[in-house]
Amino acid sequence: MSATFPPIDAKKYGPWAVIAGGSEGIGSALAGYLAEAGINIVLVARKIEPLEEVAADLRARSGVEVRTLSLDLSADDMLDRLRAATDDIDVGFLVYNAGASHVTGEFINWPLEDVEKVVRLNTLGQAMLAHHFGKLMAQRGKGGIVLMGSLAGNAGSPTVIPYAGAKAFSQIFSEGLWWEMKQHGVDVLHVVVGSTDTPAMRRLGIVYRNNEADMPDEVARYTLANLTNGPVAVVPSMQERFRQLATINRAAATESNAALVMGNTEGTWLEGD
């Protein structure tokens, strides 16, 4: 990992960054690059043990301050708890990387509480954090917000319908937020990822063969290299597929997505904490 690439403007995006979903995968990779640029980190995720492991590694390698917060981002009191951990610091960067679906299968067979959790986590959670920290960044006239998306949000995706619908919300939400926030000097970027070899995928039983998935570090580097190229950046491995799904024939797009999702692991587009 290099401190010089991707180039990160610590004066614009520091002195603190909040990374929701920062205990593993893309989130922890982003934390590493931001820390090497001298930006202090607040890591947020549900499980405290991996949070503390990432925090210890960041402190040892970069010397920055690192705070950890074990938090369910779908909980009713999540913003109050996050504010209690961050109101005393100047946050110039927000990453919302939480949001992997922990359930797959036919929608009508999902437990209703899981439907609600996935929708809340992927829509309300990111909207609340973007609203809170975005207002603070606008007041200071600089900062950055990264909302991690998924190719699943670009067409109907059987077996992960709530997740895919929520990721569609995320992309359109990000596009509008990008326009408004650039008036205040704040960058907004929605990153569309696809098959990514993360611990969350392995817990779902999805194991990719060699060279069939992006690595978290690759996605992190691409994200940070495109911070000023919003509102949407699509990882290179998914750009052709993204173009194919951008059709007015939504039945064809959904059938195409369904063939991938139902047929092999390359069609499953999930990420997050």
Q: Which of 13, 163, 208, 222 is catalytic?
A: 163
Q: How many residues does the chain have?
A: 273
- The pTM is what? 0.90
CB of 193 closer than 8 Å to CB of 100: no
pLDDT tens-digit profile of 163-180?
999 999 999 999 999 999
Locate 263 and state its tokens.
């047929």
Strand pairing category for 16-20 and 91-96: parallel
pLDDT band at 196 (very low <50, low <70, confident <90, very high): low
> Of 88, 87, 35, which is closest to residue 61 (Cα–Cα)?
35
Structure tokens at 65: 């301050």
Q: Is 163 a catalytic site residue?
A: yes
Would you state the structure tokens that stand for residue 180, as one six-digit string? Answer: 């408004």
Nearest in space to 220 (alpha carbons), one of 164, 148, 172: 148
* Res 24: pLDDT: 83
Q: How far apart are CA 171 and CA 112, in angstroms?
A: 24
Q: How confident is the model at residue 112 (pLDDT cuts 50, 70, 90)?
A: very high
